[in-house]
Chain A
């Protein structure tokens, strides 16, 4: 479903974020994207939602060639891809329910239907009791769940999570990973960027390793340590 072909990204400043990266991901996979800070993980994610364009090479998602995707189709693409941002990007002046409702509202969904959908998702991620609280009132793990809930609003085919366990303690991190696994079991493809060796090593999922913009490893059942050599 995702095909990244010989992709290079050079920013106007001259720094190279990605260099000749190629891989493909099938529907239903749960892939870890591993690499130190500045290795190009976030650039790769932004490329998948066409927030940045590759300098060379091509990115294909489903039937969309992102180089040829007209601007007015970008919203369609982004509805098919749920993103959990590293900094979550929840709107601080809206409640959790309103934050999850927001993409549905943007898409002009029928209000009653949208409200029901929000309740369903919030129950699915387990924070329905916090729906009327504001982001500042929630713990790190709860916020992460809220961000996941918003990413799931359109039941996307692909969920991208950028370090969803970054600031969480171990037990909470595992809860989040279990939640992502459940989502994966229901058919959603998941790419998760992470530093957490414990999780990567325990799950033995496919692992992509990025180092200084290059894809250095692609193991079907990988562990993080090998990447460090």
Chain B
């Protein structure tokens, strides 16, 4: 380490990058699954009424929906309720509160069906109704979100596999170099009846220390970044119970990453030492 700090730095650095990527990827996977679950559990269709609709029209529409027998629950959200919800969501942002009055928010119906496959017909019926301005069909949101997250997951997995391979190779090169520097000493150790494990351990420990230090840094950078971004993400993903991310989740992630780091390091350093311990 004293004589060749650059190799050790390279080994630690690649581990930092690898585990930074793994952490960010874990955040995305965890976050997106919470977001999708949130949308899936919400009333599946929201129909927004036109501004000029009367209470009678609304009752009529509710009755006709009930008669189909497909609807399991239905919740009317009046303009007043909508404003209340809006106020609640934006209570920290007085500027947004000032701009909005009851009038510009639409009343809406939140509808769930007993059977998921009835959602399509119900949303079609609503779209055809003269009182309805817009239908927000959560299934569309969920499926487009799912497509996005699947794409991100694929890219993430490829990235992590590539980075892991690169870190194994760099680690093997660094440890291999150190082993070859100590070749004479290793030869003497073997002649003095040292077992292969006695010779192997220090190098494997060195590899593990690179892995562990790299993981701590990578995890710390990703977690600090997440903390920093939390206020922005929180306002962006309003109403979804994702933030603040629990400390337990972060510690659990660190534990898993340390495990992966130890496995990678042991693998890389064993391979590096193997050549010299036939």
Contact = CB atoms under 8 A, between A and B. Distances in A.
A103 B193 contact: yes
Nearest to A93: B185
Interface in A36-86: 49, 51, 72, 74-79, 83, 85
Contact of B192 (A72, A76, A77, A78): A78
B147 interface: no
A106 interface: yes
A70 B188 CA distance: 20
A89 interface: yes
A100 to B, nearest CB: 11
A107 B195 CA distance: 9
Nearest to B188: A89
Interface residues of A, number: 18
Nearest to B199: A106
Interface in A70-126: 72, 74-79, 83, 85, 89, 91, 102-103, 106-107
A18 B185 CA distance: 28
Q: Which of B189, B193, B194 has the most CB of A within 10 A?
A: B193
B188 A106 contact: no
A83 B195 CA distance: 17
Q: Which of A76, A79, A83, A89 has the most CB of B within 10 A?
A: A89
Nearest to A107: B193
Contacts of B188: 89, 91
B191 interface: yes
Nearest to A80: B193
B198 interface: yes
B191 A89 contact: yes
A102 B192 contact: yes
A77 B185 CA distance: 20
Interface string B186-228: 0111011111001000000000000000000000000000000
A79 B192 CA distance: 8
A78 B193 contact: yes
A75 B198 CA distance: 11
A75 B191 contact: no
Contacts of A76: 193
B191 A78 contact: yes
B193 A74 contact: yes
Interface of B: 185, 187-189, 191-195, 198
29 contacts: A49-B191, A51-B191, A72-B195, A74-B193, A75-B193, A75-B194, A75-B195, A76-B193, A78-B191, A78-B192, A78-B193, A79-B193, A83-B191, A85-B191, A89-B191, A91-B185, A91-B188, A102-B189, A102-B192, A103-B192, A103-B193, A106-B189, A106-B192, A106-B193, A106-B194, A106-B195, A106-B198, A107-B193, A150-B192
